[in-house]
């Protein structure tokens, strides 16, 4: 009996060690979460796909420290004043014009960069948003998107509407993907494709975008089907609309100047149910 008891107690003492050893072995067998690369595989690109760049860990705080206005802010304010000087010419309703007049740059950032637009008629809602950097590493928001062209010999290019691209060029421009990436630092890139759209039709989307190369950048042109000027996500919306009769946000009326906010943002595009996100290095 005493011998059996001794063996039993020895067994109890060994049990925690065996349990710990078993847990350690089991933990070693559990695979670690898969690390997603910062950049998509360019070999998976197809003409008519989309790219969204974003600076790692970027965000916009609820309040901003006092300081000299950025070039982005000055450009935005100047363009707003130009649009408000003749609202009818830019398709802005009197109600939206009044809201734009009262809108601060910080309000604009929240509305444009946090995602889907607020319900019609409502103003901006305070909150955080994310920001990235623009084509030359400046403080243009994460709200940027370009269209992919896979050219001869499989060399990818990016078609985009930007206020300032490589070499200072602005408007709708075409840039080799490798050069496009070199203009950024510390970023991640998302890759997406229009869902259930045949390859030939996606090529037509690209062709529409290519036909706009050389057109000016215009952030306050609120008719998404007006090809006199573009911002980045407007170029995508119009290209899809003209090539495939698809409204990226399922709102087929391109005249957005009568609702608030009047912009269609890159965040809305990447969140749209018509878009398959093929490479997602994190939350956009």
pLDDT by position in tens, the chain (length 284): 444 444 433 444 444 444 444 544 544 555 555 788 999 999 999 999 999 998 876 543 323 333 455 777 888 788 888 888 888 777 788 888 888 888 887 777 776 665 444 333 333 333 333 333 333 333 334 479 999 999 999 999 999 999 887 777 889 999 999 999 988 778 899 999 999 999 999 999 999 999 999 999 998 999 999 999 999 999 999 999 999 999 999 999 999 988 888 889 898 999 999 999 999 998 88
Of the candidates 219, 179, 175, 222, the one whose C-alpha atom is nearest the C-alpha of residue 79 is: 219
Distance CA(39)–CA(181), nearest Å, equals 10
Question: Would you state the pLDDT for residue 30?
Answer: 55
Q: Would you give the DSSP letter of residue 235?
A: H
How many residues belong to the chain?
Answer: 284
Structure confidence at residue 48 (pLDDT): 98
pLDDT computed for residue 33 by the predictor: 59
Identify the DSSP state of 57: T
d(CA 159, CA 239): 11
pLDDT of residue 103: 84
Closest by Cα among 281, 212, 216 to 240: 212
Q: What is the distance between the terminal CA atoms of the chain, rounded to a whole angstrom?
A: 68
């Amino acid at each position: 009996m005493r011998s059996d008891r001794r063996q039993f107690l020895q067994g109890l003492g060994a049990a925690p060690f065996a349990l710990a050893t078993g847990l350690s072995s089991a933990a070693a067998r559990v695979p670690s979460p898969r690390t997603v690369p910062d950049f998509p595989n360019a070999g998976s690109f197809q003409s008519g796909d989309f790219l969204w760049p974003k600076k790692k860990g970027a965000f916009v705080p609820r309040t901003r420290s006092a300081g000299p206005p950025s070039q982005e802010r000055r450009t935005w304010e100047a363009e707003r004043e130009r649009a408000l000087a003749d609202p009818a010419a830019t398709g802005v309703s009197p109600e939206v014009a009044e809201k734009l007049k009262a809108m601060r740059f910080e309000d604009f950032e929240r509305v444009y960069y946090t995602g889907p637009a607020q319900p019609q008629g409502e103003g901006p809602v305070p909150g955080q948003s994310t920001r990235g950097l623009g084509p030359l590493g400046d403080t243009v928001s994460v709200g940027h998107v370009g269209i992919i062209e896979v050219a001869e010999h499989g060399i990818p290019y990016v078609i985009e509407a930007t206020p300032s691209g490589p070499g200072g060029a602005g408007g709708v421009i075409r840039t080799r993907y490798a050069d496009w990436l070199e203009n950024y630092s510390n970023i991640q890139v998302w890759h997406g494709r229009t869902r259930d759209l045949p390859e030939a039709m996606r090529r037509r989307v690209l062709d529409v975008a290519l036909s706009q190369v050389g057109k000016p950048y215009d952030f306050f042109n609120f008719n998404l089907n007006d090809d006199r000027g573009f911002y980045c996500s407007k170029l995508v919306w119009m290209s899809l609309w003209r090539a495939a009769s698809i409204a990226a946000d399922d709102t087929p009326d391109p005249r957005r100047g009568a609702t608030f906010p009047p912009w269609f943002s890159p965040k809305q595009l990447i969140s749209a149910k018509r878009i398959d996100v093929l490479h997602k290095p994190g939350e956009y």
